[in-house]
Amino acid sequence: MRRGCPPYGGRGEGPTIGPAAPRLLPSLVSQKSQELPRGSSAVSPLQEHDIETPYGLLHVVIRGSPKGNRPAILTYHDVGLNHKLCFNTFFNFEDMQEITKHFVVCHVDAPGQQVGASQFPQGYQFPSMEQLAAMLPSVVQHFGFKYVIGIGVGAGAYVLAKFALIFPDLVEGLVLMNIDPNGKGWIDWAATKLSGLTSTLPDTVLSHLFSQEELVSNTELVQSYRQQISNVVNQANLQLFWNMYNSRRDLDISRPGTVPNAKTLRCPVMLVVGDNAPAEDGVVECNSKLDPTTTTFLKMADSGGLPQVTQPGKLTEAFKYFLQGMGYIAYLKDRRLSGGAVPSASMTRLARSRTASLTSANSVDGSRPQACTHSESSEGLGQVNHTMEVSC
C-alpha cells in the first residue's frame, strides 16, 4: 500500500517496482573491520552483494536491515572514487551513526569501481549515465525497499537525480553534493581530451574533485586521494567511467512555472557544495532549476570539493534537519549536552508540512545553530515560496 501522506505534498505516479576534520588515511579501505569505530556496538555488519541488472552487475554493500516502513539510505559515489573512499569518513562519524542506525544503508559502487574489481574486457561498453540510473531499480527490488533517500556526490549525484526523474515514486528525498546538471559541450569535450594528453588519469580526476587552491594548499589530503585513486580503483575501469561522465547530457530539468510542462525533481532535495569547490557554479545552476518549495541549498564554509570528508560534522547536522523536515524526527544523542537524561534514539514517521517539520526541530534539539536557520517569521508559517538557502 502506498504511504498516505508524502512529506511536502503529493507526487505523481511513476513506474512501479515490486517488493577537526578527519583526514583520509590509506587504512580506511584496507580492511572491513576498520570501518567499525572502536567501542561501537551499534554499527551493523556489512554485507556485500553483486546484483544483476539490465546493464550488468552492480556491487552493493548493505549495512543494517530494513526498519519497518522507513526508506533505505542509498549512496552513489563520485567518479574516481568508490563507496569507501567517498563515504567512509561521513558514515563513520559518531553523530551520523546515531542517525543511520535507524535506517538500512545501501552503498552502490558504479560498475567496476569497487575495491578489487576485475578489469573489464577489451571492447566493454560502459553504461551511459542514463543506464546507470536505470540499474538502480534492480537494487531496490532485490532488497525489497519501498523507497530510498539518496545521497550522491558529483557523478553519483547526477545518477541519483536521473533515477529520481525516471522513477519518482521510489525516491523519498535526495542529498546532492557537487552536482552539475549540465552536459558537456564540444569545448568541454576538447578540454577534457587535452587534459588527458597532458596529465595522468589520477591528476585529471583530482582536478574534478578538488579546487586549484586545494590542490596547492591541502597537500596531505590531496596526496592521500592521489594514492587511493591510483592504487585502489582499477585504472582502466576508471577511465571508462570518466569518459562516460564527461559524455553526459543535460539533466533536462526546469523550475516549475518557467516553461510549459517543466520537468523537475518532485522529492525534497538538499543541495550541498563547499564554498571552495570546483562544482560550485554547477550546484548554483541546479538550484535555479529546482522547485524552491522543496529545495534546500547548503553552501559550506571552509569546505572544498569533498565536504563529506572535510566537514562531516556540519554535513551530519544538515542531514539531520533535512530528515526532520521530511517528517523523520530523530531523538538523537547530543554530545554537547552536559548532563540530564537524553531521550533514547528513535525515528517516527510523521505526516507534516515542510515548515511544521522544520519548526519541530527546535522542540527536539533545542535552538538550531544560527548559521543554519532561515526566516521563521509569521509569513514563514505558511507555504514556503523560496529556496531555503543556508550557510554553515
B/e letters for 315-345, b = 16+ CB within 10 Å, e = fewer, are bbbbbbbbbbbbbbbbbbeeeeeeeeeeeee
Bridge-partner residues for 58, per DSSP? Answer: 51
pLDDT tens per residue, range 289-346: 999 999 999 999 988 999 999 999 999 999 999 999 998 865 555 544 434 333 333 3
Residues 6 or more apart whose CB falls under 8 angstroms from that of 123 comprise none
pLDDT of residue 333: 52
Q: Contact at 8 Å (CB) between 149 and 127?
A: no
**H or E segment and range at residue 163:** helix 155-166
Residue with cell 519497518: 68
Looking at residue 345, the DSSP 8-state letter turns out to be P
C-alpha cell at 344: 533514547
pLDDT of residue 197: 52
Q: Decide: pTM greater than 0.75.
A: yes
Instruction: Find, among 264, 261, 252, 323, the residue nearest to 293 by Cα.
Output: 264
Instruction: Find, among 301, 297, 306, the residue nearest to 271 by Cα.
Output: 297
pLDDT of residue 217: 85
Helices (H), ranges, 289-366: 307-310, 312-325, 354-365
Cα–chain center distance at 323: 13
Instruction: Find, among 310, 312, 284, the residue nearest to 297 by Cα.
Output: 284
Q: Contact at 8 Å (CB) between 171 and 150?
A: yes
Q: Mean of the per-residue pLDDT values for the chain?
A: 78
Residue 2, pLDDT > 80, answer no
Rounded percentage of the chain residues whose pLDDT exceeds 90: 60
Enumerate domains of the chain plus CATH numbers: 42-327 (3.40.50.1820)
Residue 161, pLDDT > 70, answer yes
Average pLDDT over residues 215-234: 92
Lowest mean pLDDT among 13-27, 55-69, 156-170, 303-317: 13-27
Average pLDDT over residues 60-84: 95
253 CB-side CA count, 13 A: 23
Average pLDDT over residues 234-248: 97
Report the distance separating Cα 27 and Cα 39, nearest Å.
18
Which of the pair, 295 or 24, is modelled with greater confidence?
295
